[in-house]
């Protein structure tokens, strides 16, 4: 992207020439700011960025010949076990379209996010797929100003955003997991819940409640314990449930990692899965096919979510509209060896 490529605002709102006149700087200087170059004095940059923002400047859509043929895929952290699943989906669609996938982690730190934004401008990426439960409003606004299409992959189910999002059917997943345990004959079913600030946690919990109520089983609030999706919290939550006077015979952990933590807590107490306690997870990470025992879980189609997000962002780069502003892909119960009827007696 050079000065001429960035020289006019889309939607006829404002041109770089006008911004330059307002800021009292040259057109190439404004262009350097727009394109994230470092050779601009900080004061000048701030003044120009402010004007760009106030005038709602949008970078003109690049002509096909000028496309960078890159999409940016941004995570908060790359230590999540499902990151690679989403990367796989985005990369597959990008590869087929001749578009490279630039993977970044911003660690929820504003410094890293601003650094990433600078790099994004410099490489003139065609679009962004953001994988995070909390969209930084400043980041969001900057992308809007730059006119870079944005799609959010949102396994956590954020409140409505004004950008297209791809999520998963969390409520239906919680329902299916609990119905499976009910069908096996369990009536005392524990839940290790996810972080309450995430809507996906609430949706899975509500699915659990709906299944119990649908089967005429009264929800026992003591059987619902908090977790944070990590294995440690699943281990601790399971111990809390085992310490009850009347512990459950089955539990639904709202993430696979918590399910693995729960299985370890049971092993430490000499309890067998599923003979003494059934365990259902949520995610279907590749590793749970070979947990001991292999985990019954609710499959989140993470690679498919990545694919759909990539396809949507590519459509937006062609000025096409997505099918719907918010899409939830279906979840699916996968039955393996960690669930069985309750122990008799």
Q: Can you give the binding site for a copy of itself, defined by CB under 8 A?
A: 68-70, 72-73, 78-79, 81, 83-84, 87-88, 91-92, 95, 98-105, 112, 115-116, 118-119, 122-123, 231, 257, 260-261, 263-264, 267, 285-287, 289-294
What SS3 state is found at 165? Answer: strand
Nearer to a copy of itself, 54 or 267 (CB): 267
Helix ranges (H only) for the chain are 16-23, 27-34, 42-54, 83-96, 110-123, 137-146, 170-183, 199-214, 231-242, 256-268, 302-317
**What is the nearest approach in angstroms of a copy of itself to the Cβ of residue 130?**
15
Task: Choose between 122 and 210: whose C-beta lies nearer to a copy of itself.
Answer: 122
In terms of CB distance, is 40 or 83 closer to a copy of itself?
A: 83
* Nearer CB in complex with a copy of itself: 112/220: 112
**Shortest spacing between CB 138 and a copy of itself, in angstroms:** 19
Q: What pairs with residue 130 in β-bridges?
A: 74, 152
Give the pair of three-digit tokens for residue 257: 């990692």
Query: Minimal distance in Å, beta carbon 38 to a copy of itself?
Result: 9
Residue 206 CB, nearest approach to a copy of itself (Å): 27
Q: Which is nearer to a copy of itself, 255 or 312 (CB)?
A: 255
Q: Which is nearer to a copy of itself, 56 or 286 (CB)?
A: 286
Tokens of 86: 């989403």
CB of 276 to a copy of itself, least distance (A): 14
Q: What is the DSSP string of 92-111?
A: HHHHHTT-EEEEEE-TT-HH
Q: Measured between alpha carbons, how far is residue 5 from residues 35, 48, 61, 85, 173 in Å? A: 10, 18, 9, 35, 47
CB of 85 to a copy of itself, least distance (A): 9
Q: Yes or no: say if 210 and 175 are a contact pair by the CB < 8 Å rule.
A: yes
* Degrees, nearest 5: CA angle 340-208-204: 115
Helix residue ranges per DSSP H, 150-227? 170-183, 199-214
């Amino acid at each position: 992207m050079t000065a001429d490529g960035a020289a006019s605002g889309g939607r006829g709102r404002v041109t770089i020439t006008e911004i330059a006149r307002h800021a009292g700087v040259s057109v190439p200087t404004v262009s350097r700011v727009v394109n994230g170059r470092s050779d601009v004095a900080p004061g000048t940059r701030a003044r120009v960025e402010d004007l760009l923002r106030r005038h709602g400047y949008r970078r003109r859509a690049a002509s096909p010949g000028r496309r960078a043929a890159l999409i940016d895929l941004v995570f908060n952290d790359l230590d999540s076990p499902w990151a690679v699943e989403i990367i796989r989906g985005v990369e597959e669609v990008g590869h087929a379209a001749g578009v490279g996938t630039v993977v970044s982690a911003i660690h929820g730190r504003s410094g890293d996010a601003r650094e990433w934004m600078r790099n994004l401008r410099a490489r003139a990426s065609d679009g962004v797929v953001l994988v995070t439960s909390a969209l930084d409003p400043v980041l969001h606004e900057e992308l809007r100003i730059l006119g870079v299409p944005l799609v959010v992959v949102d396994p956590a189910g954020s409140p409505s955003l004004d950008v297209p999002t791809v999520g998963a059917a969390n409520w239906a997943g919680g329902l299916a997991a609990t119905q499976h345990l009910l069908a096996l004959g369990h009536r005392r079913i524990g839940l290790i819940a996810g972080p309450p600030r995430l809507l996906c946690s609430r949706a899975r919990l509500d699915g659990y409640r709906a299944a119990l109520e649908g089967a005429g089983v009264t929800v026992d609030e003591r059987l619902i314990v908090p977790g944070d999706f990590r294995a440690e919290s699943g281990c601790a939550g399971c111990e809390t449930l085992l310490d009850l006077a009347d512990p459950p015979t089955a539990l639904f952990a709202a993430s696979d990692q918590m399910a693995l933590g729960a299985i370890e807590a049971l092993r430490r107490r000499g309890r067998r899965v599923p003979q003494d306690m059934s365990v259902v997870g949520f995610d279907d990470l590749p590793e749970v096919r070979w947990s001991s025992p292999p985990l019954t879980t609710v499959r989140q189609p993470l690679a498919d979510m990545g694919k759909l997000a990539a396809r949507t962002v590519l459509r937006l780069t062609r000025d096409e509209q997505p099918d719907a502003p918010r899409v939830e892909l279906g979840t699916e119960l996968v039955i393996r060896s960690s669930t069985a009827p309750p122990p008799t007696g």
